[in-house]
């Protein structure tokens, strides 16, 4: 039986790159592997076919011979089932090493340099601090490289020994059928080395817990949810790897006067009933100082006044928001007898004016009256929706 074209087997074009070739084989191998398809002879056959195709096409010399002479050019390598320098375990390590942690060639995984973890610090600011910006000092705990041992974890003057179980690789190979699976070494826990005489300061960890003070520059206009990145101020890396970053997470405290909505500010301004009726002026605080807000006559409670440019300058651009003031008409309390008498006189005058002085109240009263009449009509029908007969004779 003639063999299928290797490029066709792997579903790639003849000019496929090494990267795409590996990706295609990985996809097929994960799908067709016998462990995923027990007792499926067809899947096992296709898996072996794909393995054979990849063994040839992943080797530059064999691929060149195959491209020129076809199967005849590589026929001598078919019987052994492996490529020069290693068996299928090497292919597995090459293709799937990024999944199982394997590493080809020297330098075991345990000796690899690892970047330190990123850290987060939650910083609470007042509205004024967020709007105008400032410099703040923060104290954070951190794992830093041990000065006594230089981060090796071994006592000064000594060095860690290579792990005898994994030969310093940090991983051991377990053969499972066609696959050679890489697993973390149980003796050194993946470090690739064993410390027989640990450092007295860090007790073999290579890092020590410390507390450091950092100065953070808060830019103008930050808001809740914004993050400030301090590069290299996170946890120390392992095996000489770089440190992680520190992210300062900003949140704003509740303000007595203002609430913030992006670059806009909101506030409530209480005014007297006489000011609402006759008009007047009230002083309003802003971030740039006190301003005078003119209240027109006959202002209703809840009316919104916009003071443009009196909000917050955006941290991302030069746009400055507005201050929106909602007036709230305050009902007077603790009235004297004289004040009560004067209000009674005013009430009498307003009542005589009817709708002219209180159009909202009058309109609401008419709607309420209509509503009650409709409700009463519902009670005058029987269960079938027919008008009830009057009991009057």
Domain segments of the chain as ranges = 6-100, 119-252, 259-330, 337-379
Query: Would you mind telling me the total number of residues written for the chain in this entry?
Result: 393
Q: At what angle do helices 41-57 and 18-32 cross, to 10 degrees?
A: 160
Residue that the structure tokens 């799908």 belong to: 31
Instruction: Select, from the ranges 168-182, 194-208, 221-235, 256-270, the one with the highest average predicted confidence (pLDDT).
Output: 256-270
User: With 70 as the cut, is the pLDDT of residue 26 above it?
Assistant: yes
CB 258 within 8 A of CB 265: yes
CB 216 within 8 A of CB 230: yes
Task: State the average pLDDT for the chain.
Answer: 80
Percentage of the chain beyond pLDDT 90 is 32
User: With 50 as the cut, is the pLDDT of residue 87 above it?
Assistant: no
Span 205-211, mean pLDDT?
79
pTM (two decimals)? 0.55
Percentage of the chain beyond pLDDT 70 is 80
* Digit-coded pLDDT (tens) for 149-199: 877 788 888 888 888 888 777 777 776 655 566 777 887 777 778 888 888
CATH 2.60.260.20 fits 259-330, yes or no: yes
**What CATH number labels 6-100?**
1.10.287.110
Residue 381: predicted pLDDT: 58
φ, ψ for residue 349, nearest 5 deg: -65, -40
Specify the higher pLDDT residue, 65 or 382.
Answer: 65
Closest CA to 361 of 350, 376, 345: 350
User: With 60 as the cut, is the pLDDT of residue 20 above it?
Assistant: yes
Fold classified for 119-252: Chaperone, DNAj Protein; Chain A (2.10.230)
Instruction: Select, from the ranges 41-55, 68-82, 293-307, the one with the highest average predicted confidence (pLDDT).
Output: 293-307
Cα torsion angle, 253, 258, 261, 264, sign: negative
Specify the higher pLDDT residue, 64 or 125.
Answer: 125
E strands, the chain, are 119-125, 134-145, 161-162, 171-176, 179-184, 193-194, 207-218, 227-230, 246-252, 259-261, 264-272, 280-286, 289-295, 304-307, 323-330
């Amino acid at each position: 039986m003639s063999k299928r074209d290797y490029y066709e087997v792997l579903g790639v074009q003849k000019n496929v790159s090494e990267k795409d070739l590996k990706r295609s084989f990985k996809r097929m191998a994960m799908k067709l592997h016998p462990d995923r398809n027990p007792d499926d002879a067809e899947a096992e056959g296709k898996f072996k076919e794909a393995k054979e195709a990849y063994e040839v096409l992943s080797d530059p010399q064999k691929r060149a011979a195959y491209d020129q002479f076809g199967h005849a050019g590589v026929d001598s390598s078919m019987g052994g089932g492996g490529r020069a320098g290693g068996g299928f375990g090497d292919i597995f390590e090459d293709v799937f090493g990024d999944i199982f942690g394997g590493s080809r060639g020297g330098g075991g995984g345990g000796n690899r340099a690892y970047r330190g973890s990123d850290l987060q610090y939650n910083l609470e600011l007042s509205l004024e601090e967020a709007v105008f910006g400032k410099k703040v000092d923060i104290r954070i705990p951190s794992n830093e490289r041990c000065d006594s041992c230089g981060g090796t974890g071994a006592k000064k003057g000594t060095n860690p020994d290579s792990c005898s179980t994994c030969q310093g690789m940090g991983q051991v190979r377990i053969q499972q059928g066609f696959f050679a699976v890489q697993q973390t070494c149980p003796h050194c826990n993946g470090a690739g080395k064993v410390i027989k005489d640990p450092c007295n300061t860090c007790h073999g960890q290579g890092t020590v817990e410390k507390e450091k003070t950092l100065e953070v520059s808060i830019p103008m206009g930050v808001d809740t949810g914004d993050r400030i990145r301090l590069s290299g101020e996170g946890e120390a890396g392992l095996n000489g790897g770089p440190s992680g970053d520190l992210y300062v997470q900003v949140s704003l405290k509740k303000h007595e006067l203002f609430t913030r909505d992006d670059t806009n500010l909101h506030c409530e301004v209480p005014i007297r009933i006489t000011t609402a009726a006759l008009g007047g002026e009230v002083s309003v605080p802003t971030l740039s100082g006190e301003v005078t807000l003119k209240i027109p006559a006959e202002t209703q409670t809840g009316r919104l006044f916009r003071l443009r440019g009196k909000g917050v300058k955006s941290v991302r651009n030069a746009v400055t928001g507005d201050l929106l003031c909602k007036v709230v008409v305050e009902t007077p309390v603790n009235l004297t007898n004289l004040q009560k008498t004067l209000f009674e006189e005013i009430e009498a005058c307003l009542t005589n004016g009817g709708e002219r002085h209180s159009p909202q109240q009058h309109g609401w009263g008419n709607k309420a009256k209509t509503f009650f009449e409709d409700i009463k009509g519902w009670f005058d029908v029987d269960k079938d929706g027919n008008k009830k007969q009057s009991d009057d004779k």
